[in-house]
Structure 1
């Protein structure tokens, strides 16, 4: 005996178009959120891996280079030109968000004139780089331009920002990957510079 309260299949209500649309939207948002989390995780993992990579250059002569100056492209600079006194070399690009974050910190440090401060503009359009420095200020005594990034390979530069300390003999004494902070300057860069100045 059939249940008289149950409508026949032909009379049962199908899900409304609104309900289907809502379900599709929810599923879509779920997958978008999942992909976003995966992308963020991969990005953070790659960044952490890059920042944890030890530099094989520490304690070794800096790779030879011959690069034009950003402001004066007809003037070239070699590593031999920078020998004699220690210098800090900061790798940056107008396309680099972290470079904008660290720039005020580096500018304050450069104003102390504790050490020569060299800029290394990586894979940038000259006009974009000049406009960036005009907007945010130029703390560098000179800026090298590595438009194609070939010299960066020799230095083991993976991206920007990265910062090196090179002593007067051309030996790489310190490297930091990522944005430099006041704490990093106080706890890492300055102690490394003091050792260089003490001849250690």
Structure 2
């Protein structure tokens, strides 16, 4: 898969947010799990100026990414989130304005996840997602303050690190058993913490 730019990744994230869960509950659970994976990658690759906030947002979204119920392994929104994660992992941000656009797109995606959780009365999950959204908007505020009007000013990207070295395994993310092997078109997805075990969880369980 050829990596796309951060600007194109933001566009794909917004598209995915618009269709999150449209194909049913199983697909929606897979979509929010893929969004959690995307936020994990964003936390690893965020520029230093906003890295702390994005990392905190990824941590806050952990519970929201483990929605109860079976999870579909495929779906349009899920594929778009994976493509975006690939872009963040393999290409640097082009400018501070690009980083700002990406953060706002992630906040939009988290808002879609909040609505999905609220529609299913998953209040704890919705609350976790809301905390992540607030942190992403704070990161966007910081990125915006570093963006001169009409400028292509660049923001330094965080040093690349191995996902396994930088973020510990998420308890319950794999339900105590190995994740299924990824489909061929996802073979180069950078994040090892895919939450698509397909096992039913009660609300609030790890």
TM-score (norm 1): 0.23
Q: In proportion to residue count, which structure has more helix?
A: 2
Which of 1 and 2 has higher RCO (CA within 8 Å, sep 6+)?
Answer: 2
Q: Considering only CA atoms, is the larger Rg found in Structure 1 or Structure 2? A: 1
TM-score (norm 2): 0.23
Q: In proportion to residue count, which structure has more strand?
A: 1
